[in-house]
Amino acid sequence: MFRRRYRAAKVATAAAFVAVSLTLAACSGSSDVSSASGSAGGATGGSADASSENGTLKLWHYEGENSAMAIAWNKAIDIFKNEHPNVTVDFERKAFEQIQQNAGMILSSDEGPDVMEYNKGNATAGLLASQGLLTDLTEQAQSRGWADELSPSLQTTARYDEHGVMGSGNWYGVPNYGEYVMVYYNKDAFTANGIKVPTTLPEFTAAMDTFVAAGTTPVCMAGAEYPAGQLWYQLALTQADRSFVDDYQLYKNPVDFQNGPTAKGAEVFGEWVQKGYISAESASLKAEDMGTAFIGGKCPIMVSGSWWFGRLQDEIKTFDWGTFLFPGSKLSLGSSGNIWVVPQASENKELAYDFIDITMRPEVQNLLGNSGGIPIAADPSAITDPKTAELIKNFNTIAQSDGLAFYPDWPVPGFYDVLVAAFQSSINQSKSPSEVMDQIAGPYEEGVATIQAG
């Protein structure tokens, strides 16, 4: 008897639970609608009288909590709030995966933000720009002086033409920081083996030979993610000039994968595996594994990007470390950082422009630099930490000599996985360098043909 009542109670509870939660769920839907219409009501005026504006600024980014960008942008948000006291800043930190996969869908709806961080490049920002999902920022860039603060090579990733190819056309995004690939090295290990910082590629090779002779695999590598492809590209760049980059990234001329820098880079990569500079067992390792191996002192050299810098500063306590530009190369992987974009569907564009402007101000840029990032418009004398100052100096050297060569997976959508697969074969030594080049040439050519056709 009791059991029957107990059962009935369970059913009743379940039914009530369903009714309540459906109501709640539906209500959360309608509250989204009302907040969208609420923000439409505000910010009707221009930026002339900021203090009398009402409304909401919906702001998204996906940089890690402790990263230099997040720290600097939090400050920018504070400044914005001071200057726009009647505006609510609705800031949400997002998952990178969600934005990358669904940006097109989000920006085609009215659930998107007013200003957001987005990845630079043809396949990402370029694609959305070509579909009219991003606001044209050219006028703002001119009038607010952003165009003057960014060097031409950094502007490449801010401007896209009608096909979504970077380098020319309207402004669609504004970067706050830069990034590039360099060589991280374990100073203590170098000293212990009597190695000086190499300035040419032969010196670099000799240094790695010394490590191999001493029984250590010198270069930390990860075959399952971006590092392998990036190393190949850097090796190719040691043989290349600007016109190669224009051909590869901007499709100015067809790229011959079997001859020229690409082929040479693949050969050298293959040699490095054979000579034991790169572990033959790194095909399944992820970038995270590579980083922790370096931090743990297991391998003394890591060829990767400035995005590791902050984390290395926090976590490396057991040895002295430093960075140097890849020897023997005028070109390096690198570009502007991710860019701020203003979705076309935004109804608070003036507020968005104001925010972007604030992020370009010296106090925000200096904070970014001092937190371990690479600002694009900071005062060099305001950077206090010597390692960071060196990091920024190296970046400026490359940027100003137009040495930023972007990244190898940019030209074609989905090329990232193609590169990973190809260089896993190289690490496993199951394909020769020319076979590896063949493997990537096909998808590259198909992809470029598609982009140029439509």
Partner 1 sequence: MTVFAQQDNKAPTKRSAARPGRGGYWWYLVPGAILFVAVIGGPLIYNTFLSLTKWSGVGSPRFIGFGNYVRLFHDSVFWTSFKNSIAMIIAMVIIPTLIGLLLASVLFDYLGKRFGSSGISVLRAVFYLPQVLPVVVAGIVWGWILRPDGAFNAFLDAIGLSGFTKDWLGNPNTALPAVMLVMVWVQIGYPVVIFMSALGRVDPEIYEAAEIDGAGYWARFRAITLPQIRPETFVVALTCTIAALKVFGPIYALTRGGPENATNVPSYFAYYTFFKKLDVGYGAAIATVLTIIIVLVAVGIMQWQAASERKELSGS
Partner 2 sequence: MSVPVLTTADTPERSAGQRLADERAVKARDRLHRGAGRWVVLAIITFGALLMLIPFGMMLLNAFKSPADYSVNGPLSWPTEFYTNGLVNYWNASDYPLKLWNSTVIAGTVAVLAVAISLLNAYAIGVGRVKGRLWIVALFLLGNMIPQEALVYPLYFFAKQTGLYNTKLVVIIIFVVIQSAFGTYLLASVLGTFPKALLEAAALDGANRWQILWKVVFPIVRPTLSVLLIFFFIWTWNEFFIPLVMLIDNDTQTIPVALASLQGDRLMDAPTTNAGALISLIPAVIFFLIFQRTLTRGVTAGAIK
- Classified as helix, coil or strand, 14 is helix
Does 54 sit near partner 1 (CB under 8 A)? no
Q: Which of 98, 131, 258, 259 binds partner 1 (CB under 8 A)?
A: 131
Whole-number Cα distances in Å, 359 to 90, 116, 207, 367, 368: 17, 13, 42, 10, 10
> Which tokens in the block code for residue 190?
């170098």
Q: How far is Cα 292 from Cα 258, in angstroms, rounded to an integer?
A: 35
291 binds, among partner 2, partner 1, none (CB under 5 to 8 A by kind): partner 2
- Classified as helix, coil or strand, 281 is coil
β-pairing, 339-341 vs 115-118, is: antiparallel
Q: Which of 52, 199, 284, 318 binds partner 1 (CB under 8 A)?
A: 284
- 324: amino acid identity, one letter: F
123 binds, among partner 1, partner 2, none (CB under 5 to 8 A by kind): partner 1
Nearer to partner 1, 77 or 299 (CB): 299
> Which tokens in the block code for residue 130?
């070509």
Whole-number Cα distances in Å, 168 to 117, 152, 163, 204, 356: 20, 10, 11, 37, 21
Nearer to partner 1, 256 or 417 (CB): 417
Does 106 sit near partner 1 (CB under 8 A)? no
Does 47 sit near partner 1 (CB under 8 A)? no
User: How many Cβ atoms are within 10 Å of 104's Cβ, its own excluded?
Assistant: 13
Distance of closest approach, residue 62 Cβ to partner 1, in angstroms: 17
Nearer to partner 1, 315 or 379 (CB): 315
Q: How far is Cα 416 from Cα 404, in angstroms, rounded to an integer?
A: 19
Q: How far is Cα 102 from Cα 347, in angstroms, rounded to an integer?
A: 20
Nearer to partner 2, 311 or 387 (CB): 311
Distance of closest approach, residue 22 Cβ to partner 2, in angstroms: 6
Q: Which of 392, 420, 437, 440 binds partner 1 (CB under 8 A)?
A: 420
285 binds, among partner 2, partner 1, none (CB under 5 to 8 A by kind): partner 1
Distance of closest approach, residue 245 Cβ to partner 1, in angstroms: 23
115 binds, among partner 1, partner 2, none (CB under 5 to 8 A by kind): none
- Cβ neighbors of 111 (< 8 A, separation 6 or more) are 32, 36
Residue with tokens 């002339």: 48
Given the rule CB under 8 A, which of 259-267, 270-278, 284-292, 364-372 is the region that contacts partner 1?
Answer: 284-292
Given the rule CB under 8 A, which of 109-117, 184-192, 315-323, 415-423 is the region that contacts partner 1?
Answer: 415-423
Does 133 sit near partner 1 (CB under 8 A)? yes
Q: Which residues 335-394 are close enough to bind partner 1 by CB under 8 A?
A: none
Nearer to partner 1, 13 or 101 (CB): 101
Q: How far apart are the first and last CA of the chain?
A: 73
Instruction: Tally the residues of the chain.
Output: 454
Nearer to partner 2, 32 or 446 (CB): 32
64 binds, among partner 2, partner 1, none (CB under 5 to 8 A by kind): partner 2
Cβ proximity of 419 and 440 under 8 Å: yes
Distance of closest approach, residue 55 Cβ to partner 1, in angstroms: 28
- Classified as helix, coil or strand, 176 is coil
Q: Which of 139, 281, 320, 379 binds partner 1 (CB under 8 A)?
A: 281
Q: Which residues bind partner 2 (CB under 8 A)?
A: 7, 14-15, 17-18, 21-22, 24-26, 28-29, 32-33, 62-65, 92-98, 100-102, 105-106, 108-109, 111-112, 119, 226, 287-288, 291-292, 295-297, 305, 307-308, 311, 314-315, 317-318
The DSSP annotation for 227-253 comes to HHHHHHHHHHHTT--HHHHHHHHH-SS
Nearer to partner 2, 319 or 324 (CB): 319
β-pairing, 178-186 vs 334-336, is: antiparallel
Does 414 sit near partner 1 (CB under 8 A)? yes
223 binds, among partner 2, partner 1, none (CB under 5 to 8 A by kind): partner 1
Whole-number Cα distances in Å, 193 to 210, 213, 303, 328: 7, 10, 19, 22
22 binds, among partner 2, partner 1, none (CB under 5 to 8 A by kind): partner 2
Beta bridge partners of 186: 321
Cβ proximity of 182 and 299 under 8 Å: no
126 binds, among partner 1, partner 2, none (CB under 5 to 8 A by kind): none
Nearer to partner 2, 94 or 187 (CB): 94
Q: How far is Cα 287 from Cα 296, in angstroms, rounded to an integer?
A: 14
∠ CA(330), CA(63), CA(86), 5° rounding? 125
Residues that bind partner 1 (CB under 8 A): 101, 104-105, 108, 123, 127-128, 131, 133, 223-224, 279-286, 289, 413-414, 416-417, 420-421, 424-425, 427-428, 430, 454
